[in-house]
Structure 1
Amino acid sequence: MSKSKTNFAIAIAVMGSMLQACGIPDMTKKTADTQLPEQFKSGPNGQASSATVKWQAFFDDPHLLSLIDTAVANNKEINIMLQRISIAENEILARKGEYLPFVRFGAAAGGDKTGQYTRNGAVEDNLNIAKGQAFPAFLGDYQFGLFSTWEIDIWKKLRNATQVAVYEYMASAEGRNFLLTNLVAEVAHAYYELLALDNQLQNLAQNIAIQQNGLLMVRQLQTYARTNALAVKRYEAEVAKNQARQYEIEQQITVVENRINTLLGRTPQPIERASGGFMDIKSKALSAGVPSELLQNRPDIRKAELELQAADLNIDVARANFYPSFGIKAGVGFQAFALKYLINTPESLAAMVAGEMVAPLVNKNAITAEYKNANAKQVQAAYEYEQTIINAYAEVANQMSNIDNLDKSYQLKRQQVDSLVKSIEVANQLFLSARADYLEVLLTQRDALEAKKELIETKEKQIGAMVDLYKSLGGGWQ
């Protein structure tokens, strides 16, 4: 190697070292705290988490399974998310291409006339005198060939950016899984709410029948002067109130059916269901496993973890902007001032190759701000990861406690309903024997109706808590 080339290489190396060593702000990454308690406070521990059970095996109702299957295939939000995942996947391809050489084909045609009293004009005049012939007044320029540019990824900026795109793609996929988990839970909640409303409607119809029988009874007693018109009117009012309530429940049923149809990505239509055995549905005994399993089973936690990894790597990408970038340019083709000479070889053959180094030196505010932003986003992503873990643990703990308390509440409400149903017959007998007035009978019937209504609501909450615990553990996306 010649002395001049050696000195040039040394100068470039020294300059690069100087640019690397100065001007980069000192930043500190945050390490996320992922510590969780070893066990949940209540509920079964030590067993594998129920989150690993697929939703097809978790739910028993064939109508519900059919609805969930349709929702998974047709839900608009899921399909929108799939397109976002596709965009993220394409971003990986785009960033991979950035650290490979770009090769382009180009062609151009043009011409120019040089002013006589210019440097080039003087050269043309001399050529005219020397050769004794006129230089063309309008000189053409025709060319075509291949041109290549390549940025040498010394600092791994482009490869790190590609890996960031990979993490973002994986995070998008986990976002889809989290959306799927919520969708399965939403469809199940709406379906069981529909069953509960059907049972409320049936309970109301049974109570109306009882009150209509009571109305006939007080009318007959009024005929024999055993009671007065006030009892008749109070019974008529109670029957009318409950009949009006039927239409309110029917409207709620319509709203819930349409909500399910929206989740299924279709226009309103009747929802097939089996409401008869709703009150006999038993809550599944779910295993929460150990808290650390949430880190693997919950898609939102894995999504937050991948976003943190992407943010970590983005700091390295932003730091590389302070370093010099190296590139190579090359081209080969044909060039001539007239078309008839364009493909003459070797006269019209043209080639070029060049290397370049570009580095920020003065006014680095923009890349400094970008670097600081990357660091701030990494700290933000770490806190969001920690918050997602805490929320997940709290959700599981809340639902485990909720299931236990609802079970105890249901047992007591069941006893209350049984007692009130029996008291209706007792109140009727006392009324017929003139040992109780009509108001006691009416209030007993009203209390029984309200207690049965609360019992149905508690059963719905029990089933809902089971679904929510399954979702909180990370089930429903497999």
Structure 2
Amino acid sequence: MKLKCRIFSRTVLCLVISAATGCGTLNTDLSVPEKEIPKTFPNPKGDATIAGIDWRQYFTDPLLVELIDTAVRNNLDLQIALQRIEMSRSSVKLANGALLPKVGLNVGGGVRKFGLYTMDGAGNASTYITPGQIVPENLTDIFLGLQASWEVDVWGKLRNQRKAAISQYLASVEGSRFVISNLVADVAIHYNELLALDNELDIIRQTLRKQQEALEVIKLQKETGRANELAVQQFSAQLLNSEVLEKQTLQRITETENRINFLLGRYPQPLPRNKDVLFQAVSRQILAGIPSQLLENRPDIRAAEFEIEASKFDLKAAKAAFYPNFNITATLGFQAFNPEFLFQSPASLAYSLMGTLVAPLINMNALKAQFNTAKANQLTAMYNYQKTILNGYVEVANQLSNLRNLQRMQELKKQQSETLQKSVDTSKELYRSARATYLEVLIAQQNALQANLELIDVIKQERLSTVNIYRALGGGWR
């Protein structure tokens, strides 16, 4: 008997939804081709990773740590992300509430008059509502009591909506952690850029002093006939170019300071810093671990995973929308035509109980569109999850390669800078003994300045690489 009932109910459901979709089209078991994650990163060094290190220990400069701490407290993007968590938490509470009966206090009143030549009017004209008093022509109706409604979640639609809301909440939590990770890295990056600019400014000003001295020497040599006006003009032009470079660097310092202050959620103000920190060697060994650890450490990957879970529950809820809704409504209270009789129980006691089963018929196209949208959202979430993993792996691989090459480049740039610095002194000595032209002196000075600036840039890029790989591995949010 039970088996026959199950077959009958399933047949009824198929008949309800077959007009628009057919029983076999509401498939919620979706999948996309998966790409296997590589076992190791290029040039592996074990399974230990720096991702689990707290940023307060990873960054050793106390001034930088203080700036990051201020940013984590005051950054506006992070505050927005935290509010998204609150919105998601409220959505979970709303979904939980949908599973429970809705009960409210109903206080109402009205007046009715029936036509005499109707069943109600004719009956009221000869009926006593109280002993010796017929039903009044203008009949008032007062009700005071409780009113309840409850959608019985037979097919799991409301439960799946609640699970989707929980997954969205967890995704928003991971999203806020991803904002923190990026915020920590951005402050560290701009801070190191600021240190590099400070050192570039020092080099430019040192070069300016040397160029000013060289110009004075050329002017004196012109007066004694050992140099001409063209030489003076060339040295003056080089000095002016360096002065322009100084102003450009000062502007870049101002803009970088303002970017850091913006990340800290405050208006522009001077930033305390020690420019010599730029030349301190990175004390911590960079350990990348294994690629599978990205699934645990990177908040954006975990958020993408929760998005898949939410989309799966949304799709199941969209499927359940095709099935009949079972609703129960009830009222319990006191009802009378006159307030003095309102609480004369049991005569004024009123109640009702009704259950309804409503199956969608006309709006099947809308339900099907909703189901197809949820289906596309789930497939999108799956592809986005794979994209996020691939992006994380590529970021780590790029930064590991970048760090290795920058370490080699730094050694080469140091040698180049030292060689060109010696060439400046050599060109001056040769010029004094008339064995070199002033153009060779100018070229030597310009090359030395460029090499020093490039050395600063390589040192900066190496430090930025240690920040970027820390972020790429999933560090900075703990």
TM-score (norm 1): 0.93
- Structural RMSD (CA): 2.0
Amino acid across the alignment from 1:33? E
Give matches, 1:226-245, under 5 Å: 226-245=226-245
Residue 18 (1) aligns with residue 19 (2): no
- Answer whether contact 1:30 1:378 (CA < 8 A) is retained: no
> What are the ranges of 5 or more consecutive residues in structure 1 without an aligned counterpart?
1-5
- Answer whether contact 1:96 1:162 (CA < 8 A) is retained: yes
**Paired residue for 1:86?**
86
Structure 1 residue 363 displacement after superposition: 4.2
- Answer whether contact 1:143 1:336 (CA < 8 A) is retained: yes
Structure 1 residue 132 displacement after superposition: 8.3
Structure 1 residue 133 displacement after superposition: 6.3
Distance 1:289 1:340 in 2: 81
Distance 1:446 1:281 in 2: 28
Cα 1:233–1:132, aligned 2, differ >3 Å: closer, same or farther?
closer
Amino acid across the alignment from 1:326? F
Distance 1:125 1:353 in 2: 30
Amino acid across the alignment from 1:35? E
Distance 2:6 2:431 in 1: 108
Distance 1:135 1:414 in 2: 108
**Paired residue for 1:373?**
373
Structure 1 residue 453 displacement after superposition: 0.8
Structure 1 residue 32 displacement after superposition: 6.3
**Paired residue for 1:311?**
311
Amino acid across the alignment from 2:446? R
Distance 1:67 1:197 in 2: 18
- Answer whether contact 1:318 1:374 (CA < 8 A) is retained: yes
Give matches, 1:272-291, under 5 Å: 272-282=272-282, 284-291=284-291
> What are the ranges of 5 or more consecutive residues in structure 2 without an aligned counterpart?
none
**Paired residue for 2:333?**
333
Cα 1:133–1:53, aligned 2, differ >3 Å: closer, same or farther?
closer
Say which SS state the counterpart of residue 143 (structure 1) adopts.
strand
**Paired residue for 1:57?**
57
Cα 1:133–1:158, aligned 2, differ >3 Å: closer, same or farther?
closer
**Paired residue for 1:402?**
402
**Paired residue for 1:104?**
104
Amino acid across the alignment from 1:124? N
Q: Deviations over 1:307-338 (max 9, x none)?
A: 00111121111111122222222221100111
- Answer whether contact 1:283 1:463 (CA < 8 A) is retained: no
Distance 2:449 2:108 in 1: 88
Say which SS state the counterpart of residue 327 (structure 1) adopts.
strand
Structure 1 residue 13 displacement after superposition: 9.0
- Answer whether contact 2:26 2:319 (CA < 8 A) is retained: no
- Answer whether contact 1:16 1:324 (CA < 8 A) is retained: no
**Paired residue for 1:254?**
254
- Answer whether contact 1:32 1:382 (CA < 8 A) is retained: no
- Answer whether contact 2:334 2:350 (CA < 8 A) is retained: yes
- Answer whether contact 2:61 2:277 (CA < 8 A) is retained: no
Say which SS state the counterpart of residue 275 (structure 2) adopts.
coil
Q: Which moved more, 1:287-296 or 1:357-366?
A: 357-366
- Answer whether contact 1:222 1:228 (CA < 8 A) is retained: yes
**Paired residue for 1:157?**
157
Distance 2:5 2:293 in 1: 55
**Paired residue for 1:412?**
412
Structure 1 residue 191 displacement after superposition: 0.5
Structure 1 residue 16 displacement after superposition: 6.2
Question: How many residues in Structure 1 have an aligned counterpart in Structure 2?
Answer: 467
Amino acid across the alignment from 1:188? A
Give matches, 1:376-391, under 5 Å: 376-391=376-391
Say which SS state the counterpart of residue 276 (structure 2) adopts.
coil
**Paired residue for 2:174?**
174
Say which SS state the counterpart of residue 276 (structure 1) adopts.
helix
- Answer whether contact 1:311 1:378 (CA < 8 A) is retained: yes
Cα 1:325–1:430, aligned 2, differ >3 Å: closer, same or farther?
same
Distance 1:47 1:230 in 2: 64
Amino acid across the alignment from 1:271? L
Structure 1 residue 12 displacement after superposition: 11
Amino acid across the alignment from 2:382? A
Cα 1:132–1:293, aligned 2, differ >3 Å: closer, same or farther?
closer
Structure 1 residue 117 displacement after superposition: 2.1
- Answer whether contact 1:177 1:299 (CA < 8 A) is retained: yes
**Paired residue for 2:267?**
267
- Answer whether contact 2:325 2:357 (CA < 8 A) is retained: yes
**Paired residue for 1:3?**
none
Distance 1:429 1:83 in 2: 68
Residue 464 (1) aligns with residue 458 (2): no
**Paired residue for 1:357?**
357
Distance 2:398 2:133 in 1: 98
- Answer whether contact 1:20 1:323 (CA < 8 A) is retained: no
Q: Which moved more, 1:249-258 or 1:358-367?
A: 358-367
Distance 1:362 1:74 in 2: 53
Say which SS state the counterpart of residue 460 (structure 1) adopts.
helix
Structure 1 residue 94 displacement after superposition: 0.6
